[in-house]
């Protein structure tokens, strides 16, 4: 073995070591990739969830608009609003086979005693949380 051989072996060893390091991912790189994937999955599922809630809100608004039309018709016929929504079904103003539920399959809130002249009855949904008086409540009077 001479000096020249030693230098070449040393060089080869260095080159081989660098290639080996390039071939695999470091733990930090893998952790980073997994963290980014986690964030992307979280964002995607949050958006899907949001879409589902929007669809339920829209379904609730559509149901309430249908009921509002029936309530107006009942009021024209009887000069009063019905004591409950089932009366609209009995009067054949609403489809009796269609449940009077919101998008979350909960009963709609109805009260023939309204708050004012402009809002002669209360018709709404407690929204996704199912609780009254929270931000996600839907009222027929705020539906555009
Ligand atoms: Ca609510």
pLDDT of residue 65: 95
What CATH number is attached to the domain comprising 128? 3.30.700.10
Q: pTM score > 0.85 for this model?
A: no
Model confidence at 27: pLDDT above 60: yes
How far are the Cα atoms of 25, 32, 34, 48, 50 from residue 41, in angstroms, in the given order? 22, 14, 10, 11, 14
Question: How many whole angstroms from 85 Cα to the centroid of ligand 1?
Answer: 20
Residue 42 belongs to what H/E stretch? helix 27-78
pLDDT of residue 45: 87
Question: How many whole angstroms from 40 Cα to the centroid of ligand 1?
Answer: 29
Question: How many whole angstroms from 131 Cα to the centroid of ligand 1?
Answer: 4
Look at residue 66 and tell me if it is in a domain.
yes
- Section 121-136 average pLDDT: 96
Domain containing 83: what range?
Answer: 56-139
Question: How many whole angstroms from 19 Cα to the centroid of ligand 1?
Answer: 60
Model confidence at 92: pLDDT above 60: yes
Domain count, the chain: 1
């Amino acid at each position: 073995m001479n000096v020249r051989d030693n230098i070449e072996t040393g060089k080869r060893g260095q080159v081989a070591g660098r290639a080996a390091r390039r071939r695999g991912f470091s733990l930090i790189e893998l952790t980073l990739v997994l963290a980014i994937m986690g964030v992307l999955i979280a964002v995607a599922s949050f958006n899907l969830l949001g879409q589902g809630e929007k669809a339920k809100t829209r379904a609730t608004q559509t149901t309430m608009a249908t009921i509002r039309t029936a309530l107006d018709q009942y009021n024209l016929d009887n000069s009063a609003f019905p004591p409950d929504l089932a009366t609209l079904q009995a009067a054949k103003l609403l489809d009796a086979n269609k449940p009077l539920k919101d998008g979350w399959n909960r009963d709609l809130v109805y009260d023939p005693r309204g708050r004012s002249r402009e809002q002669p009855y209360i018709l709404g949904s407690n929204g996704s949380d199912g609780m009254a008086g929270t931000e996600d409540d839907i009222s027929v009077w705020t539906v555009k």
